[in-house]
Each structure stands twice: as C-alpha cells, then as structure tokens.
C-alpha cells in the first residue's frame, strides 16, 4: 500500500470528521442521516490514519508531496 494522502488532505479529513462527530454528539443530526455520516466519519479517520485512499488509488491521484531527493539504488 503506497501512501497517497498528503498532510493537508489528512488535516481536512480529520477536520470534517470532528465536525461530524460534534454534530452527532450535540444531537443536531439523528436517524438514518446520523448513521450514514458516522460511517463517513469512520472512513475519513481510517484513511487519514493509514494515509491511503482506495479511491485515489483507483483514479491514480496522489496529494502526497514527492521528495525532491530521490533514493538511488546502487
């Protein structure tokens, strides 16, 4: 699994997850919408922790910055 999520993308995902959690804990969202958003929250946290997004992989997208110093194999 090659990492394809950069630091800024991770922060955005965690921020959205915090917003969803806050809305759920304050009972602003309930019912089926709450369950769907909790599932989204889990996906956002998991992808942030592993720095890997399967959808990014399928579409060959990467928000991770490439190092300007390449490792050379000798």
- pLDDT tens-digit profile of 25-56? 999 999 999 999 999 999 999 999 999 999 99
Q: Which residue has the higher pLDDT, 16 or 71?
A: 16
3-class secondary structure, 13: helix
Give the model's confidence band at 65: pLDDT under 50 very low, under 70 low, under 90 confident, else very high. confident
Q: How confident is the model at residue 68 (pLDDT cuts 50, 70, 90)?
A: confident
Give me the residue label for tokens 């579409």. Answer: 59
- Alpha-carbon span 12 to 31, nearest angstrom: 25
User: What's the CA gap between 60 and 22, in Å, rounded?
Assistant: 33
């Amino acid at each position: 699994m090659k990492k394809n999520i950069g630091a800024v993308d991770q922060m955005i995902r965690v921020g959205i997850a915090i917003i969803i959690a806050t809305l759920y804990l304050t009972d602003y969202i309930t019912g089926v919408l709450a369950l769907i958003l909790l599932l989204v929250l889990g996906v956002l946290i998991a992808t942030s922790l592993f720095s890997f997004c399967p959808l990014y992989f399928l579409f060959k997208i990467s928000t991770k910055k490439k190092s300007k110093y390449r490792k050379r194999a000798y």
